[in-house]
Structure 1
Amino acid sequence: MQKLLEGLIKFREIDFEEHKELFGQLSKEQNPHTLFIGCSDSRLIPNLITQTLPGELFVVRNIANIVPPYHESEEYLSTTSSIEYAVNVLEIENIVVCGHSNCGGCKSLYASDEVLNEIPHTKKWLELAYEAKTKVLAEVSVEEVDKREWMTEQVNIVEQLKNLLTYPFIREKVSQGTLTIGGWYYLIETGEVFIYNKENGLFELAN
């Protein structure tokens, strides 16, 4: 906790002062241009890898950067409501779904029931990524662990892009050309980001 407290003081004395005018503008309203849907993993820092300032990204993070398919419900829907707010209230221009290497959530898709039963809410959440698991296992064997890992992480991103288009208001804005959606794959070990090309179905290095 002490490390966090020291960070708060450093932020106020250095970083805040450096961007004091910007924070003054942001104190009344936000106008982000992009909804960034990323994994909760502590190694993925959206503003760091995109070099964006406060106020530019509206960020949603959850295990395995999952987008639940659209459905109306009386339940408490955190990710769905955040997407709805970003698109319909903040009127963002872009949506990025960003996965990453060595994703614990994707890896857990292949864990045993004995392990998953110890984390029942996570187990339930990961049901939303079963489609990615099914597609990967149709192409690689369970024993090909490394290949299975990166394929699952990438296929999962593509599946979440498909889920975004189940949202009527997103589908409408995309068709009108007022909203763009994209998938990114971040390699923690190299700092590289690969962008999904829907034309050829490949992730290509951003350069």
Structure 2
Amino acid sequence: MKDIERFIAGFRRFREDYFGSEYSPFEHLKQGQSPKTMIIGCSDSRVDPAILTDCAPGDIFTVRNVANLVPPFEENGGLHGVSAALEFAVCHLGVEHIIVLGHSQCGGINALMKGTCGCKGGGFISRWMSIATPARERVLAELPEKDTALQQRAAEQAAILLSLENLHSFPWIDERVVRGELTLHGWYFDISAGELLEYRSETGLFEKVSK
């Protein structure tokens, strides 16, 4: 119960900070939200998009999942949580930027590379991580003799690029990108180094953006 008590105490501080004065930051947010950026991040507890970017409530529309993956566009009868979030952000909120935020030491990518996804009687993780199978195959083909740590880092970054490709498979995303109304970004947070890297198409590399 100590964690729960700590969370409740944290909420009290949040309420005091954000609702305790006549100049509450939530005064205009009570009327609705209008973020200009969507971040697709990992569920990893160390990689909170709002904390990493020092954003205030209302600044970013966020969806998080195992390994920050974007599935390809599909119109079958499945339950598509990420796709629904994308549709809401793009078609209803009119976001101008979508950032796929990956990170080092990703448990989902580690499981994918080791082939140990899921637990007995489960299978949800393995089915979800199958989205990133092309990234795994690419890394193993291009870096067959490299150590597992380097392969994992390469796979984490390759999965970001795969998700960016999958974003283009959504017609209402690709149309807006072509018209210049929407820009896609691939970011990679190196936990050990405390560095943020951005994919740059002109070099084909993830390069540091933080000093």
Tell me which interval the TM-score lies in, with the shorter structure as reference length.
Answer: over 0.9
**1:88 partnered with 2:110:** no
**1:53 partnered with 2:56:** yes
Q: Does the C-alpha gap of structure 1 residues 66 and 6 become closer, same or farther in structure 2, counting only changes over 3 Å? A: same
Q: Could you tell me how far apart the structure 1 residues matched to 2:168 and 2:50 are? A: 25
**AA partner of residue 178 (structure 2):** S
CA deviation map 1:158-182 (0-9, x unaligned) = 1100000000001000000010001
Query: Contact 1:34 / 1:96 at 8 angstroms: preserved in 2?
Result: yes
Query: Contact 1:142 / 1:148 at 8 angstroms: preserved in 2?
Result: no
Deviation at 1:192, TM superposition (A): 1.2
Match of 2:118 among 116, 119, 123: 116
Q: Could you tell me how far apart the structure 2 residues matched to 1:203 and 1:19 are? A: 44
TM-score, normalised to structure 2, is: 0.92
**AA partner of residue 37 (structure 1):** I
Q: Name the counterpart of 1:31.
A: 34
**AA partner of residue 55 (structure 2):** T
Q: Name the counterpart of 2:178.
A: 175
Q: Could you tell me how far apart the structure 2 residues matched to 1:112 and 1:132 are? A: 13
Stretch moving more, 182-191 or 141-150: 141-150
Superposed CA RMSD = 1.7
**AA partner of residue 46 (structure 2):** R
Identity of aligned residues (%): 37
Query: Contact 1:185 / 1:203 at 8 angstroms: preserved in 2?
Result: yes
Query: Contact 1:96 / 1:184 at 8 angstroms: preserved in 2?
Result: yes
Q: Could you tell me how far apart the structure 2 residues matched to 1:181 and 1:171 are? A: 10
**1:97 partnered with 2:107:** no
Deviation at 1:21, TM superposition (A): 2.8
TM-score, normalised to structure 1, is: 0.93
Q: Could you tell me how far apart the structure 1 residues matched to 2:173 and 2:57 are? A: 24
Q: Structure 1: any 5+ residue segments left out of the alignment?
A: none
Q: Structure 2: any 5+ residue segments left out of the alignment?
A: none
Match of 2:139 among 110, 120, 136: 136
Q: Could you tell me how far apart the structure 1 residues matched to 2:36 and 2:134 are? A: 30
Q: Could you tell me how far apart the structure 2 residues matched to 1:108 and 1:81 are? A: 26
Deviation at 1:74, TM superposition (A): 2.5
Q: Could you tell me how far apart the structure 1 residues matched to 2:84 and 2:77 are? A: 12
Q: Does the C-alpha gap of structure 1 residues 42 and 20 become closer, same or farther in structure 2, counting only changes over 3 Å? A: farther
Q: Could you tell me how far apart the structure 2 residues matched to 1:18 and 1:203 are? A: 43
